Structure 1
Amino acid sequence: MRKTHSPQGFQYFMKRRYEQRFPKFKFQDPGETYGLMPLITQNSHLRTEIIQSNSAEQLQPHQQKRTANSQSKDKTDDTCILIGNTLKSLERRVLKPRISYQPEILPNKFTKPRSKSIKKQPKFDGIYFEGEKFCQELEFQEKYANIRQYYNYINISNGIFIKSTVNYYKANVSKSNNGQLVKNLLKQRWWWLVVDNDKDNVNFLWESSRNDNFIITMPCSEQIDTNDTFNIQQDQFDIQIHSHPYAKLLPKNLIIQMNLQEKQIGKSNKLLNYDQCQQFCDHIRIFEITSNTKIHNHIQNNTHLGSKKNLFLNLKKYYEFNSLNVFEFLPLTYHIKNKFDLENYLIDNMNTKKIWIVKPGELTNRGHGIQIFQNINEVNMFLKGNHQHKNGLSKTFIVQQYITNPLLYNQRKFDIRCFILFTGINGKQKGYWYQEGYIRTSSKEFNLNNLSNKMIHLTNDAVQKYSEDYGKFEKGNKISFEEFKRFITPEKFNQVYQKMKQIALDQFKAAAELLDPLKRENTFELFGLDFMIDDSFNTWLIETNTNPCLEQTGPLLTGFMPQLIDNLLKLVIDPLYPPPQFYTSKKFVYDCLNNKFELIYDSSKMKLNRKNVVIDNEL
């Protein structure tokens, strides 16, 4: 007589059969992996519980038995299996699971035996996976390992080991200042969901101006910023590191330790667990990424670089402490905030015949409020006027000597736009220099007889785009660094480039203890720097902007801006919010991990004096 099964027995049979068909792999430390770890229960309905660890008490009875047996035989032989959500809610779609790790479920008498005709796949050894779902191409496996390695090393440099508890993240991106570009690049990262209306319940908020209400919901870092040596012996500094792909992104001593790690035999060194990461950094901590882990593209106190008066005052203090003259880096400058400052300014310049440019002292950009005056009397009359903000407070002004002998490009004035990036992750503040930039040209030939024509004197896109000659000489009024290098010779360009880079570093040092004073857990800000060169090739910092223009005006910026923002996301967002495991090369967002941001400032390598002025740089 044919034996029949009860409905309960049949469901159990179906459950066991589908579980057994999942791909298997071996992982060194299942508790320190990315992704959800669902708890399967008999009565669960469309519900997933998150297990925070792999302790035996939290495993199902049949899993506990397997764990006990495996520990008695071989403690290092942990075979794992990919599983998804509850079987009852997903049914057959469980074959496309959300990625998580749990110990293997033993086969039973209802399990369908594996066909002998199927070729056994290689075991997982740190890079390679077995199972039909995983692509076995060597190129895919290497790319996957390199991405995971890159994320680990960026996070190690910030003293954290990322443990994600969610499979996707949410972002809100404002529409202003080419927010569509940022949104498109985020959408390419398939583990991000871009929402339009919700700004409070998102992981990532990108806006043109600082959102203080969002920032105050971000916790302050628990990590004490320490001078981390990454366990490097002094005699190991002779190792050549310049050819390493991350050499410009990470501290030198970490690169050396990475080289030593990568020389070890075997491929498993490219995927690091928490214990291995501790070998690099004594102060590393597990940082759990949840649906409430937030990051914003602006920092508290960004006006200490972004406003013209604070930039001048901070650099003045820094250079004076280091026995340097601030006016070797900035044009002659006065900050006018009241009648006493105005009187001192008038006395200093009583008998001089200089052209002056007057700028708002507070946070402005895109050429707003800038005026040029022929002499000191015109400046005096302007400053004596009634200038107030909307809240009734008096405006302050930066009065700067106008550079009357600028280096010209085909008889027209130009400036140089560069970018720097500030990051504050886990209490470690870093500053990066972007290695590319571009030249912004004016639309009219330079002359000093018509100071009221902004098309001659101001090179901002926000001004020049209204000129009838915009794009007539250069497409989008832009030229690349390479074109400019040929124009002034490579030697002169290198001289200018190094001076700009040094001034950028000085800005980070000058505002070291002022930017992001509470050291929020995850913060960053992209600044735009404007430089000018005179006909003697002296390099001058003109201003620093907190909301640099990201518009793709002209063919040069059509390629430049996506690369800039993508490099920023690779450096700041992707390592903190890593993608879940994936199976095929179609899921790769990028193949190249090279990045044009270069680390020039690291707060853990700096020393401060009693006045909180940076006096040493150990990078």
Structure 2
Amino acid sequence: MRKTHSPQGFQYFMKRRYEQRFPKFKFQEPVETYGLMPKITLNQNLRTENIQNNSAKYILPHLQKRMANSQSKEKSDDSCILIGNTLKSLERRVLKPRISYQPEIPSNKYIKSRSKSIKKQPKFDGIYFEGEKYCQEIEFQEKYANIRQYYNYINISNGIFIKSTVNYYKANVSKSNNGQLVKTLLKQRWWWLIVENDKENVNFLWESSRNDNYIITMPCSEQVDNNYNFNISQDIQDIPIDSHPYAKLLPKNLVIQMNQQEKHVGKLNKLLNYEQCVQFCNNVRTYEITSSTKIHNHIQNNTHLGSKKNLFLNLKKYYELNSQNVFEFLPLTYHIKNKFDLENYLIENFSAKKIWIVKPGELTNRGHGIQIFQNINEVNFFLKGNHQHKNGLSKTFIVQQYITNPLLYNQRKFDIRCFILFTGINGQQKGYWYQDGYIRTSSKEFNLNNLSNKMIHLTNDAVQKYSDDYGKFEKGNKISFEEFKKFITPEKFNQVYQRMKQIAFDQFQAVAELLDPLKRENTFELFGLDFMIDDSYNTWLIETNTNPCLEQTGPLLTGFMPQLIDNLLKLVIDPLYPPPQFYNSKKFVYECLNNKFELIYDSSKIKLNRKNVAIDNEL
């Protein structure tokens, strides 16, 4: 007998069969399919768009639970279900970003606040830029004004008007011979960048020896005479120029012209433009400083002073042309070219009582290769030995009479170290004398009976630092000019000082046409001069050195060397490579009024006479 079911049970059975045979179709939107058009309403509270179907109320009750589950999912299911012959769309909520495709028009209040944040271009008043980003302190403005005036006057003396096109410059500094000091001073000039391992693409190359590969990349400059506009009706002597802060650094006529110009223009006009520069000098050249503008701390043919044989031969020729005896400035000297050359000189000049010192003729310094002999026979025996350079060429020698009666400092020998600076800028060659120096003492008492002991006879620091008594009597075996002046009296010191300065000027005169023959645009060289004094206060030039020692040995040189190098950079580097305009009081701005270099030689038409080299008694 067939089992019957209740209507309620039948409905459940039919319901299951009906569900199972319903096919499901899923497809992507758009939902506008088969005539279905969703109704879009805007929910103002949630700022979202609610997409609903009007037929949602007709969905079967058993599907409402499934619809609720689908709405709780994080990712909405964009599908429609085919139920019977009707395509039903489940209610869904879509979050859309609020995107405006039209540019927003700012309000007037926003425009006003924005205009306040935009700063106007700073106004230049002839001294400094006015504006909040620039320091307006009077002291700082005066420093800035002085430094710009200083740059202009130094450049005018070289016939150039600087136009810089870059804000930063690159430098490569060698580590040898206290290169760290040079680096430190350059880093204070914050517009300089110190680079390593690059010697070609830099503006400034500082090395202990000359780099010819770098020099040949520097362009040559045609020498142009500086014709200063010097027309005055009153006598020159009536115009005070000694009080001018740059009187010792510039030609005398230019200083007089500057004094006159400042009276008319006003001292507040520190930054000179090109037209104002032309008022000082007719042949002013606009010099554009770029990232490829180069300068080196050595010059071509620097051996004409740095080599002992060339120094002797050049001074000998110069003094002969001026009807003077070279041996009034140098000890009796002979240049020996080969081992038989000594016999060509007069035998009577080589007295048996004379002591001789033999030095390498080529470029050497720091006491290398120096020998002292008791008589000429020992010298002759030494010279007949086999002396060759590494390249196979024979060495030459300087045979010089030894000063047997030196002036002693506390029974010990000493010499005097001075400095001169040669510059070649824009074809203008100038020679400067550094007004300060120091005394180098030996560690042992002077004694002619022991000529083999270098600690007695050679005062070079490279030799004395190996002595057991180094620094025992004077710290670092150095004393200052001031101490030495008290030791020999100011009158004697001024006599010696003037003589040294005169010999330095004669060196510039003797080799001016030989140094830097191609007139490179930017070159300079610092030379170290060694002098000795005998007990009659006669002053002798012993040698001139390239790459002079810059080590800070002892407390005296700890302060001396930074000032020397800083004064050199102020004179040669800073005017050519000025800082950019946007520095402030937190940056390094130095005092430029005190520079101990003094101009003693000028290759332009304004020649300096030998009388102009004389010093004041107030040194």
Q: Please report the TM-score for the alignment, with normalisation by the length of structure 1.
A: 0.79
Percent identical across equivalent pairs? 85
Structure 1 distance, partners of 2:464, 2:520, is: 38
Structure 2 distance, partners of 1:8, 1:527, is: 70
Q: Residue 136 of structure 1: CA displacement?
A: 1.7
Tell me, yes or no, if the aligned pair for 1:606 and 1:616 is still in contact at 8 Å: no
Residue type of the alignment partner of 1:421: L
**What residue ranges of structure 2 are gaps of 5+ in the alignment?**
1-99, 614-619
Structure 2 distance, partners of 1:234, 1:423, is: 33
Structure 2 distance, partners of 1:398, 1:9, is: 89
2:425 is matched with 425
SS of the equivalent of 2:210 reads coil
Matches within 5 A, 1:401-412: 401-412=401-412
Q: Residues 279 and 158 (structure 1 numbering): CA distance in 2 closer, same or farther, change over 3 Å?
A: same
1:71 is matched with none
1:183 aligned to 2:280? no
1:43 is matched with none
1:435 is matched with 435
Q: Residues 381 and 214 (structure 1 numbering): CA distance in 2 closer, same or farther, change over 3 Å?
A: same
Q: Residue 589 of structure 1: CA displacement?
A: 3.2
Q: Residue 260 of structure 1: CA displacement?
A: 1.4
Any idea what the Cα deviations from partners look like across 1:237-275, whole Å, max 9, x if unmatched? 231100111000000111111111222354552110011
Matches within 5 A, 1:197-216: 197-216=197-216
The total of aligned residue pairs comes to 510
Tell me, yes or no, if the aligned pair for 2:170 and 2:194 is still in contact at 8 Å: yes
Q: Residue 353 of structure 1: CA displacement?
A: 2.0
Structure 1 distance, partners of 2:185, 2:286, is: 28
1:604 is matched with 604
2:446 is matched with 446
Q: Residue 594 of structure 1: CA displacement?
A: 1.2
Any idea what the Cα deviations from partners look like across 1:73-127, whole Å, max 9, x if unmatched? xxxxxxxxxxxxxxxxxxxxxxxxxxxxxxxxxxxxxxxxxxxxxxxxxxx4212
Q: Residues 528 and 335 (structure 1 numbering): CA distance in 2 closer, same or farther, change over 3 Å?
A: same
Structure 2 distance, partners of 1:386, 1:21, is: 79
Q: Residue 25 of structure 1: CA displacement?
A: 3.7
Structure 2 distance, partners of 1:206, 1:416, is: 26
1:92 is matched with none
SS of the equivalent of 1:604 reads coil
Tell me, yes or no, if the aligned pair for 1:236 and 1:256 is still in contact at 8 Å: no
Tell me, yes or no, if the aligned pair for 1:125 and 1:268 is still in contact at 8 Å: no
Larger deviation, residues 242-251 vs 341-350: 341-350
Residue type of the alignment partner of 1:235: Q
Structure 1 distance, partners of 2:251, 2:318, is: 24
Q: Residues 526 and 351 (structure 1 numbering): CA distance in 2 closer, same or farther, change over 3 Å?
A: closer
SS of the equivalent of 2:316 reads helix
Any idea what the Cα deviations from partners look like across 1:563-602, whole Å, max 9, x if unmatched? 0000000000000000001342222331343100000000
1:400 is matched with 400
SS of the equivalent of 1:491 reads helix
Q: Residue 524 of structure 1: CA displacement?
A: 0.1
Q: Residue 618 of structure 1: CA displacement?
A: 8.0
1:21 is matched with which residue: 106, 113, 118? Answer: 118
Structure 2 distance, partners of 1:320, 1:227, is: 30
Q: Residue 350 of structure 1: CA displacement?
A: 4.9
1:82 is matched with none
SS of the equivalent of 2:574 reads helix
Q: Residues 360 and 237 (structure 1 numbering): CA distance in 2 closer, same or farther, change over 3 Å?
A: same
1:34 is matched with none
Q: Residues 375 and 428 (structure 1 numbering): CA distance in 2 closer, same or farther, change over 3 Å?
A: same
Q: Residue 141 of structure 1: CA displacement?
A: 1.4
Structure 1 distance, partners of 2:601, 2:105, is: 64
Residue type of the alignment partner of 2:275: D
2:558 is matched with 558
Q: Residues 18 and 154 (structure 1 numbering): CA distance in 2 closer, same or farther, change over 3 Å?
A: farther
Q: Residues 153 and 8 (structure 1 numbering): CA distance in 2 closer, same or farther, change over 3 Å?
A: farther
SS of the equivalent of 1:182 reads helix
Structure 2 distance, partners of 1:8, 1:422, is: 67
Q: Residues 390 and 192 (structure 1 numbering): CA distance in 2 closer, same or farther, change over 3 Å?
A: same
Residue type of the alignment partner of 2:232: Q
Q: Residue 317 of structure 1: CA displacement?
A: 0.4
Any idea what the Cα deviations from partners look like across 1:32-79, whole Å, max 9, x if unmatched? xxxxxxxxxxxxxxxxxxxxxxxxxxxxxxxxxxxxxxxxxxxxxxxx
1:576 aligned to 2:576? yes
Q: Residues 281 and 5 (structure 1 numbering): CA distance in 2 closer, same or farther, change over 3 Å?
A: farther
**What residue ranges of structure 1 are gaps of 5+ in the alignment?**
27-123, 608-613
Tell me, yes or no, if the aligned pair for 2:226 and 2:283 is still in contact at 8 Å: no
Tell me, yes or no, if the aligned pair for 1:221 and 1:427 is still in contact at 8 Å: yes
Residue type of the alignment partner of 2:528: G
Q: Residues 131 and 299 (structure 1 numbering): CA distance in 2 closer, same or farther, change over 3 Å?
A: same
Q: Residue 131 of structure 1: CA displacement?
A: 1.8
Across the aligned residues of Structure 1 and Structure 2, the Cα RMSD in angstroms comes to 2.3
Structure 1 distance, partners of 2:552, 2:130, is: 45
2:225 is matched with 226
Any idea what the Cα deviations from partners look like across 1:422-464, whole Å, max 9, x if unmatched? 0000000000000000000000000100000000000000000
Structure 2 distance, partners of 1:369, 1:545, is: 15
1:89 is matched with none
1:416 is matched with 416
Tell me, yes or no, if the aligned pair for 1:261 and 1:269 is still in contact at 8 Å: no
Tell me, yes or no, if the aligned pair for 1:531 and 1:539 is still in contact at 8 Å: yes
Structure 2 distance, partners of 1:241, 1:451, is: 51
